[in-house]
Chains A and B, each alone.
Chain A
Amino acid sequence: MSDNQDKLTWTHKHLLGLKDLSRQEIEFILDTAKGFEEISTRSIKKAPALRGKVVVNLFFEDSTRTRNSFTLAANRLSADVVEFTKKSSSVSKGETLIDTARNLEAMGIDIVVIRHNAGGAAKLLSRHIKACIINAGDGYNEHPTQALLDVYTIRQARGSLDGLKIGIVGDIAHSRVARSNIWAMTKLGAEVTLIGPPTLMPPKVDELPVRVSYNLDAVIEELDVINMLRIQFERLGGNPFPSVREYSHFFGLTVERVARAKPDLMVMHPGPINRGLEIESEVADGPNSVILQQVANGLAVRMAVLFLVNQGAAEQGKER
């Protein structure tokens, strides 16, 4: 499949973000994920790679897609999964993140998949407990498995990201998806343009390896891939744009805008979609959309990540 896989020994027992991974390491994960696709096509959709391992889904924020995807991925590798949600736990009684994790660890867990509203939560956890940590979203910082499945989907369709022009549109400021996307896509050779109103651009945007445009219509024609982000109303403070209708008018992906783009424009969205706001239904369900393919690929990518962090732990010789 790829020579890249022969050259590298995977030694990371955590996946905290993509910023600190090399191109070769990201490609290694993607190549490995390809090997996991087949499992989901069998009648017995299971392999014993993580048999006897315990994965904890430690989610301090709501999630359906990511959590279910991780649960299913862990199940397909024969791991046992413990589901932890904030509402039904001692966190609501005042327990700290590290205490919660230490208590879980005392029960003998191997891998923690964590989502938390504070940036750096995954990294903090990795310093305090021995288990493998996978970041499933930390504040506005990173959401590495989402970006991995995004670039996996692009590579699947185009073979490579080298030289592709990719637009990320919307609420960049509050988007960990955007941040992980920027690292993954630029490391793999794509040119990334962030598109949205100035009020939704992150601070220090000029330090990121990207172009910035405040005008979707000015750049739509040159894009190969467009990733539409949801407006995260739950995170917005103040009034970043005058009205939803105005935002939609300037930055929504409409049938008319897609018609002006390259015919093979790939339309992506990390979900959940706000139909009619950032993307029209006809576009979300149209021939350019790969939104459901992204979800399907997410499973293979997460299986690969679970498998690899366990392998990384084995390489580090930590008997767990």
Chain B
Amino acid sequence: MRAITGFERLLQMRVLMDAEAIRQSLDELAERIVASIPDGGDIGLVGIRSRGELVAERLAAGLKQRLNCDFPCGTLDITLYRDDLNVPRGKQQPVVRGTEIDFDINDKVIILVDDVLYTGRSARAAMDALMDLGRPKAIRLAVLVDRGGHEMPIAADFAGRRADIGPHERISVRLTEADGIDQVIVE
């Protein structure tokens, strides 16, 4: 098969969510998290590097707006817990950037946040990583997009958007803080 040119890739690209859709989804996510956790007591948010970190920060802001108090928010690097470390990955080689969680996760309800739920392997790795940091009261999974195709017995407790994206398509979440634009793209 001949290589796909940049222009052809552009033609195959479609926007799954625009900025407004992302904003609405995050609003709904925050609303449902609040509804499911009465009094919002002892919630901590943990985003998976790198886009999950940004989604977590936005969710934390959303929760603050609703409950009028600050929620601790940290970042989890799951590289050391991945199940494909001994597989050549070339340009997709995972890079260690470190976990930054400066609050005690013991006995908290941890909202684990990622941009996309696909195979469930990142969530599996993230749960193992969290368990090495302490013993949370519960772990809930919140994602902006659940694209289906799960390979692990893992489901999102909160998903902003559910979509069936085929295994040959790639989904990428772009957020203003890192990419200059709010957009979810399928290509």
Q: Please give the residue numbers on chain A whose beta carbons come within 8 Å of chain B beta carbons, in ascending order.
A: 1, 5-6, 9-10, 31-32, 34-39, 42-44, 46-49, 77, 304, 307, 310-311, 314-317
Contacts and interface: CB of A to CB of B under 8 A. Distances in A.
A35 B77 contact: yes
Interface of B: 77, 79-81, 85-91, 93, 95-100, 128-129, 132-134
A105 B180 CA distance: 51
Residue of B81, B87, B89, B97 ringed by the most chain A CB atoms within 10 A: B97
A48 B80 contact: yes
Given A42-B133, A44-B132, A77-B80, A315 B93 contact: yes
Contacts of A39: 80
Residue of A10, A43, A310 ringed by the most chain B CB atoms within 10 A: A43
Given A38-B100, A307-B96, A43 B85 contact: no
SS class, residues of chain B in contact with chain A? loop
B133 A304 contact: no
A36 B77 CA distance: 10
Contacts of A36: 96, 98
25 contacts: A5-B95, A9-B89, A9-B91, A9-B93, A10-B93, A31-B97, A34-B98, A35-B96, A38-B98, A39-B80, A42-B132, A43-B133, A44-B132, A47-B80, A47-B81, A48-B80, A49-B79, A49-B85, A310-B86, A311-B93, A314-B85, A314-B88, A315-B88, A315-B93, A316-B88
Contacts of A304: 96
A10 B87 CA distance: 13
Residue of A10, A31, A47 ringed by the most chain B CB atoms within 10 A: A47
B128 A32 contact: no
Given A9-B90, A43-B134, A48-B80, A1 B128 contact: no
Q: Name the 5 nearest CB pairs between A and B, nearest first.
A: A35-B98, A35-B96, A47-B80, A49-B80, A44-B132
Nearest to B81: A48
Contacts of A317: 88
Given A10-B93, A36-B98, A49-B85, 19 more contacts: A5-B97, A6-B95, A9-B90, A32-B95, A34-B98, A35-B77, A35-B96, A35-B99, A38-B99, A39-B80, A42-B132, A42-B133, A46-B132, A48-B80, A48-B81, A307-B80, A310-B85, A314-B85, A317-B88
